[in-house]
Amino acid sequence: EAGVVQSPRYKIIEKKQPVAFWCNPISGHNTLYWYRQNLGQGPELLIRYENEEAVDDSQLPKDRFSAERLKGVDSTLKIQPAELGDSAVYLCASSFGGLAGTQETQYFGPGTRLLVL
């Protein structure tokens, strides 16, 4: 079974340019997460989708970040315009949301390493 797929793996852009990341979750996983991981830190949630609905975007900097998951499968995260401080690894993860109250395991993609110059 294929894991979580992300592209590109690496991206170098100049500040003020736009950038987009793509994620395809594990087949059948209805919950999708985007995280940002700064160097030497743990992942921090940006947005969580249940199917096509964004149910937690409280940590997403909405002035420059946007995300979509139109058909409830793959997802795109966009930054426009990028700033120097956006340099980080952007991780996508997915899980199968089972019964309410059950604890589900997340599966992570390899991440996109972004460098803003």
Partner 1 sequence: GNSVTQMEGPVTLSEEAFLTINCTYTATGYPSLFWYVQYPGEGLQLLLKATKADDKGSNKGFEATYRKETTSFHLEKGSVQVSDSAVYFCALSVNGNQFYFGTGTSLTVIP
With respect to partner 1, which residue has the nearer C-beta, 16 or 55? Answer: 55
Provide the minimum distance between the beta carbon of 84 and partner 1 in the complex, in angstroms, as a whole number: 22
CB of 108 to partner 1, least distance (A): 4
Q: How far is the CB of 16 from partner 1 (least distance, A)?
A: 28
In angstroms, how far is CA 107 from the centroid of its own chain?
12
Token duo for residue 45? 């949630």
Closest to partner 1 by CB, 4 or 116? 4
Judged by beta carbon, residue 13 or residue 89, the one nearer partner 1 is: 89
**Residue ranges that bind partner 1, judged by CB under 8 A:** 4, 6, 31, 33, 40-45, 48, 50, 56, 91, 93, 95, 97-98, 100-111
